[in-house]
C-alpha cells in the first residue's frame, strides 16, 4: 500500500469534526430491520451485521468510524454505536446509553476499568490491557510492555479517535511510549491502512525483555508477530512448565520460546524450540541467555511438519511435547482443512512423546470450537497408535476476557494429554 495515500486517508478520518463523530445530541440515527434480532442487542450482543440494518442512501453516506444512535425497528433506542458501512460488521456497540458522548473522558473511563482488573491479576505491567469488545472498546487491542503500549486499532472508529485514545492511555497508565501496530488482518476488512506509527515517545531501539512465569521473553515490538508477544498463553505456559521439571521438552511452533523458556525456568533438563522464523528463534535464544539457561536450550528452524517427521525417523522422544501452531482454521471456510491439519499435527507429534509423557496441543482458531478441536486431536493421537488421557483443558489468560455474546473472543484452546506407557 502506498504510504502517502494511506496517511492521507488516515488524516482525512482524523480531520473530521469530532462533534459530528461524538456529540450525543446531533448524531445520525440508524435503524434495525424488522426481522433483525433486537433482543440479542438488548441482552448484550455487540455487533450489527450489514444484513440486519436498514441501509438506504443516507446510511450509505455515513463516513467510516462515525458515531451513531442505534434504534430497533419500532424506533426504540438501543445504544450508541460506531458505524462502518464498508464492513460486514456495520455497527459496533460502544455504550448502552444512546446519548453517550464518546470522547477522551469516555475512553479514559474504559481504560481505567480495564487497568483495575489487570492490577488485580499481575504484579508487573506486562499484559493485555484491552481485549476489544470484552473490555468495552470494540476492535481495539492494547498490549502493555512496562512503560510501552502497543495499540492495534482494528476498527474505523478507533482510528478516528486514535489521538484521543493514545492521550487517554498515557493519562490513565502513565506509559511513556505508545506505538500503533497496523498489521492486524481485521484492519483490511475495515478499509484501514497498514502503516505503523509512533503515537508517543520513540521506537524502542532493542527488543523488550518481558518477565513471565519465571522466564524472560524478548519482544520485538516493531518487527515481530502481532504486538510482539503472545500474552494469551501465559496460564498454559505455566501448566506445561509444571509438567517439565527434570524433563526433556520439545516446543513446536515456538515463536520466541513461549513454552520452552517457561519449561527451562521450571527446571527442564533440555528444551528444543522449533519454528519457521529465524528472527523469532534468535529472540528465543537471547531470552535463554538472559535466563542463564542457554546451555540447556537449542533451536531448529524449518517446517514444523517436516521437522516432526524427521525427529520420528531418528527415533527421538521427549518427556513433554507442545505444539502451538498459527490458526489453521481462521474462518468457517477453512474449518474442515484446518481440522485435518490439527489431526495431522497430533498424529505426527504423538510418537515423539515418551511413554507416560505429555502432549500439549493448542489452537487459536476461533472457527474451530473446543469440541471439534478436541475430536481432531484425539483422532490424530489414535491414528498414531497411542493411548491417552486428557488431563487438562486450558484457555487464554484472564487478561484476555471472553465477551459472553461473542464466541470469537474465546478463540484460544489448549489440550494436555498424558500418553500412556
Residues with catalytic function: 364
d(CA 358, CA 416): 7
Torsion angle of C-alpha atoms 392, 396, 398, 403, degrees rounded to 10: -120
Torsion angle of C-alpha atoms 178, 180, 184, 189, degrees rounded to 10: 130
- Alpha helix segments (H runs only) across 254-327: 258-266, 278-291, 304-313
180, β-bridge pairs: 151, 197
| Residues found in the chain | 421
Identify the sign of the CA torsion 324, 284, 231, 260: positive
Closest CA to 415 of 385, 386, 395: 395
32, β-bridge pairs: 53
Closest CA to 89 of 135, 39, 133: 133
The alpha carbon of residue 350 and the mean position of all alpha carbons in its chain are separated, in whole angstroms, by 27
Tally Cβ neighbours within 10 Å of residue 174: 9
Q: What are the grid coordinates assigned to 46, written together?
A: 455487540
Which uninterrupted H or E stretch holds 157? Answer: helix 156-160
Q: Where are the beta strands (DSSP E) in 241-352?
A: 248-252, 270-275, 297-301, 318-323
Identify the sign of the CA torsion 376, 377, 378, 381: positive
User: What HEC string does 364-401 produce?
Assistant: CCCCCCHHHHHHHHHHHHHHCCCCEEEEEEECCCCCCC
d(CA 233, CA 174): 26
Amino acid at each position: 500500500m502506498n504510504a502517502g495515500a494511506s496517511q492521507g486517508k488516515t488524516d482525512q478520518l482524523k480531520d473530521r469534526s469530532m462533534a459530528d463523530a461524538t456529540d450525543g445530541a446531533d448524531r445520525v440515527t440508524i435503524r434495525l430491520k424488522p426481522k433483525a434480532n433486537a433482543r440479542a442487542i438488548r441482552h448484550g450482543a455487540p455487533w450489527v451485521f450489514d444484513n440486519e440494518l436498514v441501509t438506504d442512501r443516507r446510511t450509505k453516506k455515513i463516513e467510516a468510524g462515525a458515531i451513531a444512535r442505534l434504534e430497533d425497528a419500532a424506533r426504540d433506542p438501543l445504544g450508541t454505536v460506531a458505524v462502518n458501512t464498508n464492513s460486514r460488521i456495520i455497527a459496533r456497540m460502544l455504550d448502552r446509553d444512546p446519548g453517550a458522548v464518546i470522547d477522551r473522558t469516555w475512553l479514559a473511563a474504559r481504560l481505567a476499568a480495564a487497568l483495575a482488573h489487570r492490577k488485580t491479576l499481575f504484579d508487573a505491567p506486562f499484559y493485555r490491557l484491552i481485549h476489544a469488545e470484552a473490555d468495552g472498546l470494540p476492535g481495539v487491542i492494547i498490549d502493555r510492555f512496562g512503560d510501552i503500549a502497543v495499540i492495534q486499532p482494528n476498527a474505523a472508529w478507533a482510528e478516528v479517535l486514535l489521538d484521543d485514545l493514545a492521550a487517554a492511555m498515557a493519562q490513565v497508565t502513565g506509559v511513556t511510549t505508545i506505538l500503533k501496530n497496523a498489521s492486524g488482518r481485521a484492519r483490511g476488512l475495515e478499509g484501514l491502512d497498514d502503516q505503523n506509527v509512533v503515537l508517543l515517545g520513540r521506537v524502542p531501539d532493542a527488543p523488550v525483555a518481558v518477565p513471565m512465569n519465571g522466564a524472560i521473553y524478548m519482544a520485538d515490538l516493531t518487527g515481530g508477530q502481532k504486538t510482539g508477544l503472545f500474552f494469551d498463553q501465559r496460564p498454559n505456559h505455566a501448566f506445561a512448565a509444571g509438567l517439565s521439571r527434570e524433563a526433556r521438552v520439545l516446543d513446536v511452533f515456538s515463536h520466541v520460546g513461549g513454552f520452552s523458556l517457561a519449561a527451562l525456568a521450571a527446571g527442564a533438563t533440555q528444551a528444543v524450540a522449533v519454528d519457521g522464523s529465524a528472527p523469532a528463534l534468535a529472540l528465543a535464544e537471547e531470552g535463554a541467555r538472559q535466563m542463564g539457561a542457554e546451555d540447556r536450550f537449542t533451536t531448529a528452524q524449518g517446517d514444523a511438519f517436516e521437522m516432526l517427521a524427521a525427529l520420528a525417523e531418528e527415533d527421538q522422544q521427549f518427556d513433554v511435547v507442545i505444539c502451538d501452531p498459527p490458526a489453521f482454521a481462521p474462518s468457517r471456510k477453512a474449518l474442515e482443512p484446518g481440522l485435518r491439519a490439527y489431526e495431522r499435527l497430533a498424529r505426527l507429534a504423538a510418537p515423539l512423546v515418551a511413554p507416560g509423557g505429555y502432549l500439549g496441543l493448542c489452537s487459536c482458531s476461533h472457527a474451530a470450537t473446543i469440541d471439534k478441536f478436541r475430536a481432531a486431536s484425539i483422532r490424530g493421537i489414535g491414528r498414531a497408535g497411542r493411548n491417552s488421557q486428557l488431563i487438562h483443558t486450558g484457555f487464554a489468560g484472564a487478561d484476555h476476557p471472553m465477551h459472553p455474546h461473542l464466541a470469537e473472543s474465546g478463540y484460544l484452546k489448549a489440550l494436555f494429554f498424558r500418553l500412556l506407557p
